[in-house]
């Protein structure tokens, strides 16, 4: 019914265009959520010990995901 096959050239072009956009959007979302979370914790004074654990977890997991996306992008483009 539908031909979903993609040529390697077309797939490479989509990766070249789409991966930087996806990486940029993920970085923006990561930073905006970090700012919102920091504001929320300061404004509503969450428990300091618990909030630092969440902050650390957020940045470790988010940073790891961004690094994995960057690694995937570099793997496909180099």
Q: How confident is the model over 18-77, as pLDDT tens digits?
A: 888 888 888 898 888 888 877 877 777 765 556 677 778 888 998 898 888 888 888 877
> pTM to 2 decimals?
0.64
Looking at residue 1, its pLDDT comes to 56
Higher-pLDDT residue of 1 and 7 is 7
First to last CA, the chain: 35
Residue 54 has, within 13 A of its CA and on its CB side, a CA count of 12
Looking at residue 4, its pLDDT comes to 66
Looking at residue 3, its pLDDT comes to 65
């Amino acid at each position: 019914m539908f031909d979903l096959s993609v040529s390697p050239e077309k797939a490479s072009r989509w990766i070249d265009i789409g991966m930087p956009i996806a990486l940029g959007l993920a970085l923006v979302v990561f930073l905006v959520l970090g700012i919102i979370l920091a504001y929320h914790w300061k404004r509503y004074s969450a428990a300091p010990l618990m909030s630092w654990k969440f902050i650390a977890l957020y940045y470790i997991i988010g940073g790891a995901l961004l690094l994995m996306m960057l690694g995937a992008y570099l793997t496909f483009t180099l």
